[in-house]
Amino acid sequence: MTDITENKRPVEINRPTPRYPLMIVGGFVFLCLAAVVYLSAQNAAWATLVIAVFASAAAVAYAYFSSIGRPAALEHRLDWQPALTDVQKQNLALEVEGIAAALQQEPWESTDLFMAYVVAEDLALRQLQQEHAAPMIRHLQIGGTPFDALIIKPDELICVEVSFVVASDLRQDKVDSMLKKTGTVRRFLAAQKLDVELKLLIVVVTQLTPEDVADLRSKLTEKRFPDSPVNIDIHFLDFEELQRTFMSQSE
C-alpha cells in the first residue's frame, strides 16, 4: 500500500442558517410548560402527565427540524454521469493491447484476451464491493473524467482503476493516466465545494507466479508515484482465486 500525503484544502466556514421553525416550537413548548407548572399546585398527577406529553412532542419536533437542516448524503450531492460508450471501448482496447503486448500476441487475433479482461475487471469489482460494503458506481465519469468505479463513503471518495497484469510490471502510460485523472477530479471537487477526502485505489489483478507478484509489488512503491495529487492504495488480487470465489459451482 502506498500512502502519499496531500495538502489539505482550507476549511470553508459558512454562517449557519437560523432555524426559525425550531425556535417557534421551542417557544411554544416553553409557554406550555410554564402553564403546567402553574397548574401543578392544583393537580400534581395531571401536571405530570401533561409534562410528559409535551416533553415527547418537543423531542419529536427537535429531531424533525434537525433532520431538515442536515446536509444531504455525499452520493446525492456528487455530480456524476455514466462513462460514454466510446470512452469505455477505447479504454478496453488499450487494456487488451497492453496484455497482448506482454504476451507477444496480436490484440484482436482472438476474443480470449477481451473476455479475460472483462471477467477479471468484473470479478475484481465484485470483490472490492464486498470488502468496502459501501455504495459503488461502475464505469462513470466525474467532471468528464472516467473511472472504472467509484466508492462513496460519508466523507471520502475512492476512485478505482483496475488493471489486469500478466507481466511483472504496470504500464507507465497507465500510471500517468491515473495520476492525471485524479488530479482533474480533485480540482473538480474543489470547484464544486465538496470538501471530501479523495483517494485512488489501484486494483491489480494478476495471473502470475508468486515470485513475479513479489517483483511487481517491489516496483509499485511511492517512488513510482512521486507526483500523485492524492493518497494511493494498491490492492492485489489473483485472477484464479477470484474465479474460484465467484464462478466455481457449488457441489
Q: Is residue 14 part of a domain?
A: no
Residue 4 falls within a domain, yes or no?
no
Same domain, 90 and 137: yes
C-alpha separations of 201 from 110, 198, 204, 233 in Å: 30, 10, 10, 5
Within this chain, do residues 55 and 133 fall inside the same structural domain, yes or no?
no
Stronger pLDDT, 178 or 52, i.e. the higher one: 178
Same domain, 42 and 162: no
Nearest to 80 by CA among 39, 31, 35, 136: 136
Pick the most confident of 13-22, 52-61, 221-230.
Answer: 221-230
212 in a structural domain? yes
Work out the pLDDT band at 227, boundaries 50, 70, 90: confident
Residue 80 has pLDDT above 60, yes or no: yes
Q: How many domains does the chain have?
A: 2
Closest to 103 measured CA to CA, from 23, 166, 47, 173: 166
Question: What are 185's three cell numbers?
Answer: 477530479
pLDDT value of position 4: 42
Are both 98 and 175 inside the same structural domain? yes
CB 247 within 8 A of CB 116: no
Instruction: Sheet with 231-238: list strands edge to edge.
Output: 80-82, 136-142, 145-153, 156-165, 197-206, 231-238
Pair (237, 119) in one structural domain: yes
Q: Does 100 share its domain with 187? A: yes
Round the average pLDDT of the chain to a whole number and report it. Answer: 80
Q: Is residue 11 part of a domain?
A: no
- Looking at the domain assignment, is residue 8 inside a domain? no
CA end-to-end distance (rounded Å), the chain: 36
Whether 138 and 125 have beta carbons less than 8 Å apart is answered as: yes
In a domain, 28, yes or no: yes
Rounded to two decimals, the pTM is 0.69
Same domain, 231 and 193: yes
Taking residues 191-200, report their average pLDDT: 89
Can you tell me the mean pLDDT for 150-167?
Answer: 92
pLDDT band at residue 22 under the 50/70/90 scheme:
low
Choose the final residue of a domain: 69, 86, 102.
Answer: 69
**Domain assignment of residue 146, yes or no:** yes
b/e code 189-222 from CB counts within 10 Å (16+ = b): beeeeeebebbbbbbbbbbbeeebbeebeeebee
pLDDT at 112: 86
> 164 and 52 in one domain?
no
Shared domain for 230 and 109, answered yes or no, is: yes
Residue 32 has which C-alpha cell? 406550555
Residue 216: what pLDDT?
93
Model confidence band, residue 24 (pLDDT cutoffs 50, 70, 90): low
* pLDDT confidence of residue 6: 40
Which of 69, 85, 103 corresponds to the end of one domain?
A: 69
Residues 38 and 116 in one domain: no
Same domain, 30 and 63: yes
Confidence of residue 32 (pLDDT cuts 50, 70, 90): low
**Residue 44, domain extent:** 20-69
Instruction: Give the model's confidence band at 62: pLDDT under 50 very low, under 70 low, under 90 confident, else very high.
Output: low
Helix axes 112-132 and 85-103, enclosed angle (nearest 10): 110
Same domain, 131 and 216: yes
Compute, in degrees rounded to 10, the torsion defined by CA atoms 164, 221, 175, 78: 90
Q: What is the pLDDT of residue 102?
A: 86
Q: Is residue 6 part of a domain?
A: no
pLDDT digits (tens, 9 = 90+) for 236-251: 999 999 999 998 765 4
Better-predicted residue by pLDDT, 180 or 10? 180
Length of the chain in residues, anyone? 251
pLDDT score, position 90:
92
Give residue 89's pLDDT: 92
